[in-house]
């Protein structure tokens, strides 16, 4: 989880940096456009007109006014240029905001003060409540400013305008100097030099904004531009293929060998692909370990299949990084234009779906998009949205299945199970939704709702079944080693005042991670008085030493050993061995999945096992049904 958060933060930072670079590139383009307007006029034209035109367009202003200090008159300014000829030559008094601009600052404000110094020639509409931008200018040792005004009903100038104004200020000063000097040769030379510098900066900024800094490949935004342009040029009958490449277990390389090794691997992968593709193909890196290739002008699907297979072979070649041997692999999904999409985003999404299908088959595989995959993905997305809505409405409930004494049939405990009651009232078992919920990190919230439902009904359950029964709560392998989740669950059960009424059920797979369990989880459970049960026991993960170290309270014998045990000698032998071990360690045993009378008869006759759970005794029921008065159940049956 921490790794995912760090990765997300890094991705947000990279996107923020990329947005900033694109903004800088846009600014540079605007400056170049304005500067070229200045340089393209002949000697009889006013070079400042080009700047004026560019300024009013870029800043969406209605008025542009140039003021400079008057000779021999302290505190007064003269308008020497304006979009309205009536303002040229007018005298303006000094003000607090004008002084800030004259001192070299760009100031954005709403003109509701300091307007007494503005001349009557300026229309009254632009005197009160008008968004104003003050931009410093300098001409031949004189101070000046450029005042841009918007209509009162327009929004004010923001920080982005101020940042852009700082860059236009230098350009406007040069253009004004050229105007005052009638395009003198010296000023023209300076302007041309500034143009060249801006062109170089703009080219560098453009490259940084459009390319990945590590590999030098086109980045996510630029790839989309390149592919959309290629599609726009695509003639009738022309086909393209988009391959989505995802490196398998890339996070493991970073974790085991460090981020520098990960960077080296990414650059190596980029070089290997570049060596395989043609000049007409497009190749870029769209995120940490994901790449996109667009193979242009293809004839047969077989050609693409062979090319991608060769590429995958190259990608899987081992390499040494800082004395460590890395064996990379990549899963690849392919979609075709125009069959699978007529724009970049659709093709990328479909190739991504095919890539996940390849990864599901086996790492390092190739899969081609089919419409069936799209339908399955749409169903997953719809299910995800339904699950999110179900969490918001608290639609996950607790169902209980009895644990009984196999001889007396007395109820000795319950296993708490998760059920989803959907918007149509249909009840779904975890097999329908739990895998997807786990992929999207929703299981903890679902477990919270189920535990809450159980605790809310605990007193009613006590009335019906007594206070000696114990309730088992299932915990997934991921949850069992996630300390914040376990702490929260333990605190919640402890605050019920009945911690000894609860048992946490862990699978055999979970106890393979005995280190974290011993160091962190077990002390919490023991201190709180909560029991520990191992579910699905007998599937092969556990050992005697492990059980001794964990001091387990209960073993639940896996159903695979109980099923048809009366006719399976091998299962009988394994069960006897587990029974002997449990008796020696003082561990209680539960036979799971008892479904037939024959199975139960064998357990009673040939084992000392006392507790059973399964459909023979009880099918899981929602709490509302379990707590329904017996007479109400009888009335329903008669009805």
Residue-wise DSSP of 21-43: HHHHHHHHHHHHHHHHHHHTS-T
CB-count exposure of residue 524 (10 Å: 0-12, 13-18, 19+): middle
Confidence of residue 11 (pLDDT cuts 50, 70, 90): low
In this model, does residue 633 exceed pLDDT 50? no
In this model, does residue 183 exceed pLDDT 50? no
Give me the pLDDT at residue 604, please. Answer: 94
Could you give the CA distance from residue 618 to residue 613 in angstroms, rounded to a whole number? 8
Give me the pLDDT at residue 178, please. Answer: 66
Residues 600 and 554 in one domain: yes
Give me the pLDDT at residue 16, please. Answer: 64
Give residue-wise pLDDT tens across range 82-111: 888 888 889 888 888 888 998 889 999 886
- Is residue 332 classed as helix, strand or coil in its secondary structure? strand
Could you give the CA distance from residue 36 to residue 220 in angstroms, rounded to a whole number? 31
Residues 468 and 604 in one domain: yes
Residues 35 and 84 in one domain: yes
Confidence of residue 636 (pLDDT cuts 50, 70, 90): very low
β-bridge pairing 611-613 and 588-592? parallel
Residues 290 and 404 in one domain: no
Give residue-wise pLDDT tens across range 226-265: 888 888 887 777 888 999 999 988 888 888 888 888 899 9
Residue 431 lies inside a defined structural domain of this protein: no
Beta bridge partners of 290: 246, 287
Give residue-wise pLDDT tens across range 412-436: 999 999 999 999 899 999 988 988 8
Give me the half-sphere count of Cα atoms (radius 13 Å) on the Cβ side of residue 499.
Answer: 16
Residues 91 and 136 in one domain: yes
Residues 129 and 229 in one domain: no
Could you give the CA distance from residue 111 to residue 96 in angstroms, rounded to a whole number? 12
Q: Name which of 481, 589, 477 is nearest 537 in CA terms.
A: 589
Instruction: Dump strand ranges (E) for 378-524.
Output: 396-405, 411-421, 427-428, 470-474, 502-507
Q: What angle do CA 16, 19, 21 make, to 5 degrees?
A: 110
Residue 375 lies inside a defined structural domain of this protein: no
Peptide bond into 420 cis (omega under 30): no
The total number of structural domains in the chain stands at 3
Could you give the CA distance from residue 67 to residue 77 in angstroms, rounded to a whole number? 6
Confidence of residue 301 (pLDDT cuts 50, 70, 90): confident
Domain boundary among 184, 206, 228: 206
Residue 197 CB: number of other CB atoms within 10 A?
10
- Is residue 558 classed as helix, strand or coil in its secondary structure? coil
Instruction: Please report the DSSP string for 248-259 in residue order.
Output: TTHHHHHHHH-H
Residues 528 and 449 in one domain: yes
Alpha helix (H) ranges present in 300-429?
301-315, 344-361, 371-393
- Is residue 398 classed as helix, strand or coil in its secondary structure? strand
- What is the layout of strands, in order, in the sheet containing 76-82? 91-93, 76-82, 63-69, 142-149, 130-139, 107-111
Q: The domain containing residue 581 runs over which residues? A: 400-417+443-628
Beta bridge partners of 398: 418
Worst-scoring range by mean pLDDT, 6-20, 298-312, 589-603? 6-20
Domain boundary among 171, 206, 241: 206
Q: Give Dmax over CA atoms of the chain in angstroms.
A: 119
Residues 152 and 187 in one domain: yes
Q: Does pTM top 0.85 for this prediction?
A: no
Give me the pLDDT at residue 34, please. Answer: 58
Residue 387 lies inside a defined structural domain of this protein: no
Residue 285 lies inside a defined structural domain of this protein: yes
In this model, does residue 637 exceed pLDDT 50? no
**CATH number reported for the structural domain that contains residue 624 in this entry:** 3.20.20.450
Residues 194 and 234 in one domain: no
Confidence of residue 52 (pLDDT cuts 50, 70, 90): confident
**CATH number reported for the structural domain that contains residue 105 in this entry:** 3.30.450.40
Give residue-wise pLDDT tens across range 398-411: 999 999 999 999 99
Residues 45 and 149 in one domain: yes
Average confidence (pLDDT) over 25-43: 57
Return the DSSP state at 157. Answer: P
**CATH number reported for the structural domain that contains residue 303 in this entry:** 3.30.70.270
Q: Name which of 18, 19, 67, 38 is nearest 168 in CA terms.
A: 38
Could you give the CA distance from residue 71 to residue 5 in angstroms, rounded to a whole number? 62
Could you give the CA distance from residue 338 to residue 355 in angstroms, rounded to a whole number? 19
- H/E stretch holding 187: helix 185-210
Could you give the CA distance from residue 265 to residue 563 in angstroms, rounded to a whole number? 50
Give residue-wise pLDDT tens across range 504-563: 998 876 766 566 677 778 888 889 999 999 888 876 655 555 666 667 899 999 898 998
Residue 364 in contact with residue 316, Cβ under 8 Å?
Answer: yes
Give residue-wise pLDDT tens across range 196-207: 776 776 677 777
Percentage of residues in the chain with pLDDT exceeding 90? 29
Confidence of residue 383 (pLDDT cuts 50, 70, 90): confident
Give me the pLDDT at residue 307, please. Answer: 85
Residues 406 and 547 in one domain: yes
Could you give the CA distance from residue 403 to residue 468 in angstroms, rounded to a whole number? 13
Instruction: Please report the DSSP string for 120-134 in residue order.
Output: TTS-GGGTSSEEEEE
CB-count exposure of residue 412 (10 Å: 0-12, 13-18, 19+): buried
Residue 534 lies inside a defined structural domain of this protein: yes
Residue 294 lies inside a defined structural domain of this protein: yes
Residue 572 lies inside a defined structural domain of this protein: yes
Ramachandran sector of residue 403 (left: φ over 0; alpha: ψ -120 to 50; beta: rest)? beta
Residue 281 in contact with residue 287, Cβ under 8 Å?
Answer: no
Give me the pLDDT at residue 439, please. Answer: 81
- Is residue 602 classed as helix, strand or coil in its secondary structure? helix
In this model, does residue 639 exceed pLDDT 50? no
Residue 8 lies inside a defined structural domain of this protein: no
Give me the pLDDT at residue 471, please. Answer: 97
Residues 150 and 293 in one domain: no
Could you give the CA distance from residue 33 to residue 51 in angstroms, rounded to a whole number? 9
Confidence of residue 364 (pLDDT cuts 50, 70, 90): confident
Domain boundary among 175, 206, 237: 206
């Amino acid at each position: 989880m921490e790794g995912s958060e760090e990765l997300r933060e890094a991705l947000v930072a990279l996107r923020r940096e990329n947005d900033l670079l694109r903004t800088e590139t846009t600014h540079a383009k605007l400056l170049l456009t304005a500067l070229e307007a200045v340089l393209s006029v002949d000697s009889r034209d006013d070079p400042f007109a080009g700047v004026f035109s560019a300024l009013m367009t870029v800043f969406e202003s209605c008025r542009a006014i140039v003021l400079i200090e008057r000779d021999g008159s302290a505190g007064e300014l003269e308008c020497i240029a304006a979009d309205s000829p009536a303002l040229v030559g007018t005298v303006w008094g000094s003000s607090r905001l004008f002084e800030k601009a004259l001192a070299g600052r760009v100031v954005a404000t709403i003109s509701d003060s300091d307007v007494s110094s503005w001349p009557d020639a300026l229309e009254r509409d632009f005197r009160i409540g008008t968004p104003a931008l003050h931009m410093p200018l300098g001409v031949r040792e004189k101070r000046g400013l450029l005042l841009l005004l918007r209509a009162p009903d327009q929004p004010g100038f923001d920080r982005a305008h101020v940042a852009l104004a700082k860059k236009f200020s230098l350009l406007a000063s040069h253009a004004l100097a050229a105007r005052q000097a009638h395009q003198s040769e010296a000023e023209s030379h300076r302007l041309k030099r500034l143009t060249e510098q801006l062109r170089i900066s703009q080219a560098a900024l453009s490259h940084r904004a459009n390319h990945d800094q590590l590999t030098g490949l086109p980045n996510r935004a630029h790839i989309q531009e390149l592919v959309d342009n290629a599609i726009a040029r695509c003639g009738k009958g022309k086909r393209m293929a988009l391959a989505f490449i995802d490196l398998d277990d890339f996070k493991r390389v970073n974790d085991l060998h460090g981020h520098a090794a990960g960077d080296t691997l990414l650059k190596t992968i980029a070089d290997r692909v570049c060596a395989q593709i043609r000049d007409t193909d497009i190749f870029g890196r769209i995120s940490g370990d994901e790449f996109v290739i667009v193979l242009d002008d293809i004839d047969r699907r077989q050609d693409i299949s062979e090319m991608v297979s060769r590429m995958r072979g190259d990608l899987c070649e081992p390499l040494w990084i800082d004395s460590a041997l890395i064996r990379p692999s990549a899963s690849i999904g392919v979609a075709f234009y125009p069959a699978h999409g007529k724009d970049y985003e659709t093709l990328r999404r479909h190739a991504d779906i095919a890539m996940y299908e390849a990864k599901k088959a086996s790492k390092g595989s190739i899969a081609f998009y089919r419409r069936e995959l799209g339908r399955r993905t749409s169903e997953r997305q719809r299910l995800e949205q339904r699950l999110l809505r179900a969490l918001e409405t608290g639609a996950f409930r607790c169902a209980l299945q009895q644990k009984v004494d196999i001889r007396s049939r007395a109820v000795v405990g319950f296993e708490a199970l998760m059920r989803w009651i959907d918007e149509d009232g249909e009840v779904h078992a975890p097999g329908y939704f739990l895998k997807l919920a786990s992929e999207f990190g929703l299981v903890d919230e679902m477990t919270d709702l189920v535990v809450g439902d159980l605790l809310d009904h605990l007193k009613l359950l006590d009335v019906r079944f007594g206070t000696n029964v114990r309730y088992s709560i299932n915990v997934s392998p991921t949850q069992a080693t996630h300390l914040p989740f376990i702490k929260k669950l333990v605190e919640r059960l402890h605050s019920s005042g009945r911690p000894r009424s609860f048992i946490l059920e862990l699978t055999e797979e979970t106890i393979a991670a005995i280190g974290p369990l011993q160091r962190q989880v077990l002390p919490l459970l023991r201190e709180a008085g909560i029991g520990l049960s191992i579910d699905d026991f007998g599937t092969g993960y556990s050992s005697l030493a492990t059980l001794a170290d964990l001091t387990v309270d209960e073993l639940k014998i896996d159903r695979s050993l109980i099923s048809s045990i009366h006719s399976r000698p091998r299962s009988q032998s394994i069960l006897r061995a587990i029974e002997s071990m449990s008796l020696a360690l003082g561990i209680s045993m539960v036979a799971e999945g008892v479904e037939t009378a024959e199975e139960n008869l064998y357990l009673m006759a040939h084992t000392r096992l006392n507790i059973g759970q399964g459909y023979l005794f009880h099918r899981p029921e929602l709490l509302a049904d379990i707590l329904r008065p017996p007479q109400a159940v009888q009335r329903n049956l008669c009805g």
